[in-house]
Amino acid sequence: MTDTPRGLLITLEGGEGAGKTTAQTFIHDWLVAEGRSVTTTREPGGTQLAEGIRDMLLDKRGDMAPPTELLLMFAARAENIAKIIEPALAKGHDVLCDRFTDASRAYQGAGRQLGLSSVDALAEWVHPTLRPDLTLLLDVPVAVGMERVGKRGAALNRFEMADVEFFERVRQGYLDQATREPDRFVVIDATQSIDTVQSKIKDALLELVVRRPHG
């Protein structure tokens, strides 16, 4: 009996209004067209319990201390990893995750100013060996992202109601992380046309799949 090769973990990151939803559909369809099996999930969320935690985190009526926010993100993440991500990778599926631990580094570490060491300590405890194979960071200036979110017309969640300075720190937190881990991150200027963004995503996926062909 041969062991099933593990799938790839691909994470999608970016500030509000960066266009992650459109990108996620594109990536999913591209991988499937390549003949790969794909499991999609999101954070915070993915399982029933983690989606419940998401509701608490996003509820705009909630007033939450930053450490509570960070711990709830990791509580949801522990569920998502145990119930969805690890089982899918083990059976050879690629996992496409809309946000992962880099979001905690950017939003809680940088945005809420909790610092990277608390996030890294939790990451080391919750998923010591799990690291994305590729992280696509869709980068847009804060003003552009906020304008896109405003145009959606939907009610703002607790994060979307934060001030510009918070989002500037989040954006910088992401870019700093990309600088620290250039082998894992691909930063894409998401102010470009959808076609251009998708062609850059495709280039990154092609390189990854060539490097790690089994999925």
- If one asks whether residue 99 binds ligand TMP (CB under 6 A), the answer comes out as yes
- If one asks whether residue 73 binds ligand TMP (CB under 6 A), the answer comes out as yes
Interface with ligand TMP (CB under 6 A), residue from 52, 159, 184, 191: 159
CB of 108 to ligand TMP, least distance (A): 6
- If one asks whether residue 171 binds ligand TMP (CB under 6 A), the answer comes out as no
- Interhelix angle 142-152/164-180, nearest 10 degrees: 120
- If one asks whether residue 215 binds ligand TMP (CB under 6 A), the answer comes out as no
- If one asks whether residue 26 binds ligand TMP (CB under 6 A), the answer comes out as no
Q: Toward ligand TMP, which CB reaches closer, 38 or 50? A: 50
Q: Cα 118 to chain center, whole Å? A: 18
Q: Toward ligand TMP, which CB reaches closer, 36 or 80? A: 80
- If one asks whether residue 24 binds ligand TMP (CB under 6 A), the answer comes out as no
Between CA 146 and CA 139 the distance in angstroms is: 13
DSSP secondary structure letters along 156-186: P-TTTTS-HHHHHHHHHHHHHHHHH-TTTEE
CB atoms within 10 A of CB 129: 5
Contacting range for ligand TMP; rule: CB under 6 A; set: 79-87, 101-109, 172-180, 200-208: 101-109
| Burial state string for 178-215 with b = 16 or more CB within 10 A and e = fewer than 16 | beeeeeebbbbebeeeeeebbebbeebbeebbeeeeeb
Interface with ligand TMP (CB under 6 A), residue from 81, 84, 107, 201: 107
CB of 159 to ligand TMP, least distance (A): 3
Size of the site for ligand TMP (CB under 6 A): 10
How many residues are listed for the chain in this entry? 215
Spatial CA neighbour of 111 closest among 176, 53, 25: 176
Instruction: Give the footprint of ligand TMP on this chain (CB under 6 A).
Output: 43-44, 73, 98-99, 103-104, 107-108, 159
